[in-house]
Structure 1
């Protein structure tokens, strides 16, 4: 049975990271491309929703249905073509906009991508209910999952590069523009 991980940041206020908010706003305005959003998401914390599912109920003394057992589940989005996607949110406001009863679990973007690949999902949909929806899928999803799992060398056509620690003032970019 999977366990709920310890929070990445116990003092997290649930807000959207400023770099992520700026990249998504620019993407929506058409002044930034997906690469810039992916670079902002690369080191960002996302919130993965879990929801309670009733697994067993009964009728109480007064004839009312009562919950006996429930489990927490990771909801998936299913497209019209049958493909599944894992949901992730940049902050609690976006999560509540989608489903107010969902509970957030902190994860890095790379962890979310790895989980999606492990769940055989075709995509990660970030902020499905807005304000700006962003989809990570295909080779990009596989590459980010491979970075997290340490299996980048197993992706056909991938070039493996060692990333050395840099000074805190510099940002590392997972993708470059061409």
Structure 2
């Protein structure tokens, strides 16, 4: 505690207040997120709701890797999730092509959120298998469109087919099959 007080110019409360404010913002963001996901389990979110959905993930510290990557959700509804990523220099492997891990991450996010929506936002879901095949490359400046649709929606297991296409020509870049487990514990 003494080191923390010295590091904060003699005020340990400044750090605690900032942490508390960040945690409060995160909780508020999670409440907004849950409200929107619950609505999406019944009908697709409107453009206005999508804007709130995207800002909630980015502005409240709940978007994690998706915020870091720069993903943007363009459709969130009961049967389909669609998101976009503008490929930038940070997404590339040394040969100037989008890193395969980007597609895997996009697939995991799209399928997991789709699975949570499909459960009515009542039970958590977790990815248990992510299999992504690569067909074509994306380069910096191109936009990847990721679309998740259900193959199988069971009580304890779901399978999602996720296609990654290039926005400019709609060519298939990669395909992810994501199997997720539906956990038997309500939120």
Same structural fold, with TM-score higher than 0.5 when normalized by the shorter chain: no
> Structure 2 length as normaliser, TM-score?
0.26
Q: Give the structure with the higher percent helix.
A: 2
> Structure 1 length as normaliser, TM-score?
0.27
Which structure exhibits the higher relative contact order, with contacts defined as CA atoms closer than 8 Å and separated by 6 or more residues? Answer: 1
